[in-house]
Chain A
Amino acid sequence: MFCLNNVILLIIAISYRYKGGQLMKVDEKTIIKKFDMLNSSKIPKPKLVLHCFNAFWVGGLICVIGQFIGDVFSEMGVPSDEKGTYVSIVMVLIGAILTGIGIYDKLGDFAGAGSVVPITGFANSIVSPAMEFKKEGFVFGVAAKMFTIAGPVLVYGIGSSVIVGILYYFIRW
């Protein structure tokens, strides 16, 4: 009787699917529901542990290089309160050069925040749009677009330092 059961099931299935020669209407709401379900389960997740690890050691390495340059300046007799400025200048230069010769974007793809957060990443965010928009000229291209990415950092960085400065003025400890 197994066979007959199957045949009946098949007939039921076909008559369920077809209605007057056309496929049965499925409400779009069920599609949206399924879509949301797929969207929350089927999107591949980034490899978080690997990315964190790479960000950690690359970011750390950049800091070690910075420290090394700082130590060299100390050896050269640069006073310790000026040393930080010197190191920043050199690191920005390194970031800019690596951007210019097309290495920093590959480093960024590998290290993520590890190369974005240090000051070399800040240099990258200014040099890369400057290079990109050179074709629109030096005024409306390079100069105008140079800070499209770094601009917000500057605005809120400087802005918050002013606020902190005012607070510090009134609440000295």
Chain B
Amino acid sequence: MTALGEPNVTAIVFFIAFIGLSLGITVWAARKTRTTDQFYAAGRSVTAFQNGLALAGDYMSAASFLGIAGLVALSGFDGLIYSVGWLVGWPIVMFLIAEPLRNLGRYTFADVLAARLRATPIRIAASIGALAVITFYLIAQMVGAGNLIRLLFGLPYETAIVIVGMVMLAYVLFGGMIATTWVQIVKAVMLLGGATLMALLVLSRFGMNPLALFAAAQARYGDSVLSPGRLVSDPVDAISLGLALMLGTAGLPHILMRFYTVPDAKTARTSVGYATAFIGFFYLLTFILGFGAMVLIGRDAITAVDAGGNMAAPLLAKGIGGNSFLGFIAAVAFATILAVVAGLTLSGAATLSHDLWVNVVRGADADEREQLVVARLATIVLAGLSIALGIAFKGQNVAYMVGLAFAIAASANFPALVLSIFWGRLTTAGAQASMIVGTVSTLTLIYLSPTIQLDVLKHAEAWFPLRNPGIVTIPLSFATAIVVSLLRPAPAEARRFVELERQLHLGVE
């Protein structure tokens, strides 16, 4: 009898098969990674369908798979609030960002700002927001990885962190964006396939009718599982979280970077359509899986393994498909983490090398060979940093860090990016001030919020009442950009905006 946390033969077989396949992809990709266009942007040859899957693979983290299934299993309807929140940013990415970003930039979102504003100061400011988002997101993923792998495979926490860090380093260092893209595609197919199969197995016990499943949950745990519970107790906080999730998606550096891997803006647009379809479908599935775990496994059995409910989906896999299915789902969860951290590390490396080294330090005067060397050094530094941070934050509650990453992305990156695309009077000083105010105000208010003051530091009260600062910091960041730009107009920059209008729509001709 194998249980969670003990070595599971199927899990190890699937895990080794995935590592073997992904390293094989990396060897193949390494031969095709000779230029910066290939390293950062996969030679701009990714198709819309492939990029849609890769975007989904980059975005659907283990936290959303295991966390939302667990939240639904323990609280029912409330989990749906999160599922919906994680999806609604994608249409915004399509309507406002994807096509102009592809047409105006090369490797990072800072390229878009640098195209029309003074490049050096704007890249420095954009890098602060980008690196802050990437660091917090990486910490959350690494700590989650360590805990998850310990629970699923019984490996020590530190060993798990080092394995994740080293395998991810191999992907990015040798295979760049080509390997990262294919790892994300394989992961997305495994995750969508595994979750679909599991949902079908659950529904087969309820006559293929989700309502029969929900009714069974209602019969066992009462009407409350179908109605809003305690998750949204403060309306302002709920709106604030919603704003950060929605606009933060459109400001995540590793997601934005993926739009440079496709040949043109039309392909970028279509790829968001595929991504939205896949991600929405996935979150509907997690809702079925959560209710399946609630009914077929039971809340007591789930909280007995992990109080937060994170093991609901693996327990469900074991309950309906036995140890081999549990092994498969465990390997899927591992693949999920690797794909997300690889995307984050690559976008961090692009910020450090393309934005800061090549364009700020070297004044855009670095040859192809130097750019690749610096990009790879930056990758090694980031992999080392993520292993160190993963170990440093062992045993700490880092769940809030994903929310923090989204809040910074929404407050520091999104306002400057969207204004630079839409508003001709934006100035360098305005965009700079907005990005710095967005980052600093978000960090300050999170520090003063109940999340840090009560939950982490165990103080009696918090100075700032909201757990999610977005409702304050996002308007503040927009207002800063607008006020600073209007106070000190820059006619040359406004003319540059008009000159770029054609490129914004038609791309580089």
Q: Do A and B bind each other?
A: no
Interface residues of B (CB under 8 A from A): none
